[in-house]
């Protein structure tokens, strides 16, 4: 029981520590920035894939249509 009480007091002290709070806040801001960068990179990759697929379709459609005429 005493060990739990000491752990609880240490945790309460840690949570009141200004340096710990600054570290947690900075970490959360950094994590949010990384998540946003990952989301934007995924969006750009998807846009490039869609553009590539459209170019490929334009390239293949005339060939396919010409083969049907024969």
- CA-CA distances (angstroms) from residue 60 to 38, 52, 56, 63, 64? 33, 12, 6, 5, 6
Q: Are 37 and 29 in contact (CB under 8 A)?
A: no
pLDDT (tens digit, 9 = 90+) per residue, 22-60? Answer: 999 999 999 999 999 999 999 999 999 999 999 988 888
Question: How many whole angstroms separate alpha carbon 70 and alpha carbon 67?
Answer: 5
| Spatial distance between the Cα atoms of 11 and 4, rounded to a whole number of angstroms | 10
What band does 65 get if pLDDT is binned at 50, 70 and 90? Answer: low
pLDDT category of residue 70 using cuts at 50, 70 and 90? low
Q: What is the CA radius of gyration of the chain?
A: 28
């Amino acid at each position: 029981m005493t060990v739990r009480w000491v752990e609880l007091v240490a945790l309460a002290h840690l949570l009141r520590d200004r340096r710990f709070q600054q570290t947690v806040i900075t970490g959360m801001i950094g994590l949010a920035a990384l998540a946003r960068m990952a989301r934007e990179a995924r969006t750009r990759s998807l846009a490039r894939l869609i553009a590539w697929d459209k170019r490929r379709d334009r390239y293949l459609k005339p060939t396919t249509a010409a083969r049907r005429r024969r």
